[in-house]
Chains A and B, each alone.
Chain A
Amino acid sequence: EVQLVESGGGLVKPGGSLRLSCAASGFTFNEYAMLWVRQAPGKGLEWVASISHRSSYLYYGDSVKGRFTISRDNAKNSLFLQMDALRAEDTAVYYCTRVRRDGYISDYWGQGTLVTVSS
Chain B
Amino acid sequence: DIQMTQSPSSLSASEGDTVTITCRASQDISNFLAWYQQKPGKVPHLLIFGASTLHSGVPPRFTGGGSGTDFTLTISGLQTEDVATYYCQKYDSAPYTFGPGTKLDI
Contact = CB atoms under 8 A, between A and B. Distances in A.
Are A and B genuine complex partners?
A: yes
Interface of A: 35, 37, 44-47, 50, 59, 61-62, 95, 100, 103-107, 109-112
> Which bracket fits the contact residues of B?
20 to 34
B19 to A, nearest CB: 19
Contacts of A112: 43
B96 A47 contact: yes
A100 B49 contact: yes
Contacts of A95: 43-44
A61 B55 CA distance: 26
Contacts, number: 57
B49 A105 contact: yes
Nearest to B87: A45
Interface in B37-61: 38, 43-46, 49-50, 55
A35 to B, nearest CB: 7
A45 B101 contact: yes
A45 B44 contact: yes
Given A44-B100, A105-B34, A110-B43, 17 more contacts: A44-B85, A44-B98, A44-B99, A44-B101, A45-B38, A46-B98, A47-B89, A47-B98, A62-B1, A95-B43, A103-B91, A104-B94, A106-B36, A107-B46, A109-B43, A109-B44, A112-B43
